[in-house]
Amino acid sequence: MSAFYVTTPIYYVNARPHLGHAYTTIVADSLKRFYRMLGQDARMLTGTDEHGDKIVKAAQAVGKNPKEFVDEISADFASMWDDLRIDHDQFIRTTDESHKKAVQVLLQRIYDKGDIYHGEYGGHYCFGCERFYTEKELEDGLCPQHQTKPEFISEKNYFFKMSKYQEWLKKHIADNPDFIRPERYRNEVLSMLEGNVLEDLCISRPKSRLEWGIELPFDKDYVCYVWFDALANYISALGWPENEADEAGLFSRYWPAEHLVAKDILKPHGIFWPTMLKSADLPLFKHLNVHGYWLIKDTKMSKSLGNVVDPRFAAEHFGLDAFRYFLLRDMHFGSDASYSEEALINRINSDLANDLGNLFSRVLSMNAKYFGKIMPALGTLSVEDEVLFEDAENSAKNYVQLFQEVRFSQALDSLWEPVRAMNKYVDSQAPWTLFKEGNMERLGTVIRVLMENMYKVSYLLWPVMPTSSVMMQEQLGKTFSDKNLNAKVFEDLLASRIHLRTGSEVAEASNLFPRMEKVEPAQKIEKKSSEKAAQNVKNDKSGSKAKNDKQEGENTMQEIEYADFQKLDLRVGTILKAERHPDADKLLRFDVDLGEEEPRQIISGIAEFFEPADLVGKKVVVVANLPPRKLRGLMSHGMILTAESGTDLSLLTTDAANGATVS
């Protein structure tokens, strides 16, 4: 069994975890699950970086010693990953004794090779970056990362002969185009190597200035530079150097790694780390995968700006799987992406509620109505059936390839192609018409074709949405266990069309992805509520007076002006989805396409007159300009018009196009 090893950066513990940390870690978790799904022996590493100047300063700011401080923040990171259900195999800390020993062995090996020397250096030192900058690297005399003026420090230190490996690294990157990806970051590293003579790297700090670090094995008066310490975690976590020669050990089994980093730490990972490994005669990592920043209103998240997003809140409020899906779908890996609750809600509503959730709801409801929750047999396939199967197979293969290339957004978009196609297939095949015609064999084939392809999509979604994936598979009558993942199972998934068992019982309904509404600030809601209450009191008073003025038995139907009728916005729409309200027996919940950017959610009290599955695909007339109203916890954005005759109720239907106005 081939192995796969993915690492996050070890996160610096001078501040609490935020969205950026969560994104990288969720990507790593998804990659681990993806390769497990392919049948590989996958391992994931994350952890915390706990030495250096910034830690000392951050600890002093809150009146704690460095060890107390790092213990607290590191525990917060570990707790965060538990809350987000990250399936990591190891959480490493650079204060672990085994890691300290590994760093000292690495330093000694490079020192013995003659690649570390003692010298004096004067340079512009940024305490935020914990590194020296040359005059050329500064921007108007300021640190390019922190925009602060570095302090000029002149002191004796130890240096790594990084310049010795400049030409070798340039050639390696040129010969291996996907060593650093996406391509823009490969080009950025090559630009660093080609534009300047690579300087040697200062790898120590005198204890007279900093004691919080790993002591150099060849000079007890110095501690190791934080980056030289931190980068070694990727191999120390595998038990290196003790098991370096052990073919059965973790290092031989899993190294080399797939590294995941944000673009702000490209240089240490793209230049420092490969030259360190080369000097130590160790194999290089497989790929350095570099992503962009999550921006808030086009601004990088910053604690000082107060725009840091709490991943726990987002996961709890919107659902962990939906949050994971949004992160991988909305960021094109390598580019920056904008985060907002509005963007998250829009993605949930469009992809999960309207597309995937609507598909599962429609198909399972129809199967329950037409076949009593029993999986129908697959009959003779039509041309349309074959096309749907072939498109789903091609999309699955594209999804796998794109995921391997860390192009997650494009991979998920590819997987959504059959989801959208299946919703159209439902409309074109019109199962409700087949049922009315009594064509049960063809109806069964249509439902079965849909559920087989729904199963394939739900299975492939497991790396990104593990909980929802399992629930969708269970709704289709399949039991999922990650213990049964292997290469043969996955190959069969891609190669075969039939995975479900005829006659098995499936769920009668699905409501995994309800539409989300943007929550207004509490003050705004309170103001609206008080204004509405005042208006109700006014209406009650005027209504009582009007009633008293009427004579008993007089017709109370009020006449209106033509201008009043013109205020109504009556529009034609198609019911895309119909289901029972989860908390009210007399209410139905609809998604109605009015020709707008997104379907409308409408709640209607007609459950006693209609079966939801019978209404899907119907063209109806909607009062579209009513103010939104919450009915038993769900917002309704309009009213579906009906006609009442005695005890019968009918929908007002038409053949007009979606969005057409009634006048």
Give the pLDDT score at 597: 67
What is the CATH number for 584? Answer: 2.40.50.140
Q: Which amino acid is at 637?
A: H
Query: Closest Cα to residue 362, out of 470, 447, 269?
Result: 447
- 146 has catalytic annotation: yes
Domain presence at residue 581? yes
Domain presence at residue 369? yes
Instruction: Tell me the pLDDT band of 559, cut-offs 50, 70 and 90.
Output: low
- Token pair for 484: 């049964």
Q: Contact, 309 vs 301, CB < 8 A?
A: yes
Give the mean pLDDT of 451-467.
Answer: 98
Reply yes or no: is the peptide bond before residue 256 cis, omega within 30 of 0.
Answer: yes
- List Cβ neighbours of 59 (8 Å cut-off, separation of 6 or more): 65, 66, 68, 69, 70
Regarding whether 361 and 315 lie in a shared domain, the answer is no
**Residue 659 phi, psi dihedral angles, 5° rounding:** 95, -10
Q: Please write the tens of the pLDDT for every residue from 126-155.
A: 877 767 777 777 888 888 877 888 888 788
Catalytic residue (one of 57, 118, 156, 300)? 300
- Hey, is 515 helix, strand or coil? coil
Domain presence at residue 516? no
Instruction: Tell me the pLDDT band of 548, cut-offs 50, 70 and 90.
Output: very low
- Hey, is 265 helix, strand or coil? helix
Say if residue 247 is exposed, middle or buried (CB neighbours under 10 Å; 0-12, 13-18, 19+): exposed
Domain presence at residue 428? yes
Regarding whether 410 and 479 lie in a shared domain, the answer is yes
Q: Model's pTM, two decimal places?
A: 0.77
Instruction: Tell me the pLDDT band of 123, cut-offs 50, 70 and 90.
Output: confident
What are the beta bridge partners of residue 590? Answer: 578, 602
Regarding whether 360 and 431 lie in a shared domain, the answer is yes
Q: Contact, 406 vs 289, CB < 8 A?
A: yes
Pairing of strands 151-160, 600-604: unpaired
Give the pLDDT score at 53: 87
What is the rounded distance in angstroms from the CA atom of residue 26 to the CA atom of residue 8? 10
Regarding whether 334 and 364 lie in a shared domain, the answer is no
Looking up tokens 């497990």 gives 36
Give the pLDDT score at 532: 44
- Hey, is 235 helix, strand or coil? helix
Give the mean pLDDT of 522-544.
Answer: 43
Regarding whether 350 and 481 lie in a shared domain, the answer is yes
- Token pair for 290: 């570099």
- Hey, is 41 helix, strand or coil? strand
- List Cβ neighbours of 645 (8 Å cut-off, separation of 6 or more): none
Regarding whether 302 and 424 lie in a shared domain, the answer is no
- 332 has catalytic annotation: no
Q: Which of 449, 464, 495 is the last residue of a domain?
A: 495
Give the pLDDT score at 582: 85
Chain center to CA of 217: 43
- 18 has catalytic annotation: yes
- Token pair for 155: 């002191």
Gyration radius (Cα) of the chain, Å:
31
Instruction: Tell me the pLDDT band of 327, cut-offs 50, 70 and 90.
Output: very high
Domain presence at residue 150? no
- 118 has catalytic annotation: no
Domain presence at residue 334? yes
Catalytic residue (one of 57, 67, 118, 146)? 146
Catalytic residue (one of 57, 303, 436, 528)? 303
Q: Please write the tens of the pLDDT for every residue from 57-108.
A: 889 989 999 999 999 999 999 999 999 999 999 999 999 999 999 999 999 9
Buried-state track 530-559, b at ≥16 Cβ within 10 A, e below 16:
eeeeeeeeeeeeeeeeeeeeeeeeeeeeee
What is the rounded distance in angstroms from the CA atom of residue 538 to the CA atom of residue 34? 61
Written as one string, the DSSP assignment of 277-341 is HHHTT-PPPSEEEEE--EEETTEE--TTTT----HHHHHHHH-HHHHHHHHHHHS-TTS-EE--H
Q: Please write the tens of the pLDDT for every residue from 501-520.
A: 999 999 999 999 999 876 55
What is the rounded distance in angstroms from the CA atom of residue 631 to the CA atom of residue 301? 37
What is the rounded distance in angstroms from the CA atom of residue 640 to the CA atom of residue 571? 10
Regarding whether 379 and 306 lie in a shared domain, the answer is no
Residues comprising the chain, all counted? 663
Domain presence at residue 225? no
Catalytic residue (one of 32, 143, 259, 619)? 143
Q: Which of 495, 516, 533 is the last residue of a domain?
A: 495
Regarding whether 351 and 316 lie in a shared domain, the answer is no
The domain total for the chain is: 3
Instruction: Tell me the pLDDT band of 549, cut-offs 50, 70 and 90.
Output: very low
Give the pLDDT score at 522: 39
Q: Is the pLDDT of residue 332 over 50?
A: yes
Q: Which of 456, 477, 495 is the last residue of a domain?
A: 495
Catalytic residue (one of 21, 54, 99, 259)? 21
CB atoms within 10 A of CB 444: 22
Domain presence at residue 232? no
Q: Is the pLDDT of residue 543 over 60?
A: no
Give the pLDDT score at 403: 98
Indicate the average pLDDT of the chain. Answer: 89
CB atoms within 10 A of CB 623: 15
Regarding whether 348 and 476 lie in a shared domain, the answer is yes
Regarding whether 396 and 320 lie in a shared domain, the answer is no
Q: Is the pLDDT of residue 120 over 60?
A: yes
Q: Is the pLDDT of residue 648 over 90?
A: no
Q: Which amino acid is at 386?
A: E
**Dihedral Cα 603, 605, 607, 613, nearest 10 deg:** -30
Give the pLDDT score at 525: 35
What is the CATH number for 34? Answer: 3.40.50.620
- Hey, is 163 helix, strand or coil? helix
Regarding whether 383 and 304 lie in a shared domain, the answer is no
Catalytic residue (one of 51, 99, 126, 581)? 126
- Token pair for 446: 């249509």
Kindly state the DSSP code that residue 622 receives in the 8-state scheme: E
Catalytic residue (one of 88, 129, 202, 224)? 129
More confidently predicted of 629 and 473: 473
Give the pLDDT score at 646: 66
What is the rounded distance in angstroms from the CA atom of residue 332 to the CA atom of residue 496? 31
Regarding whether 15 and 65 lie in a shared domain, the answer is yes
Domain that holds residue 15: 1-95+292-339
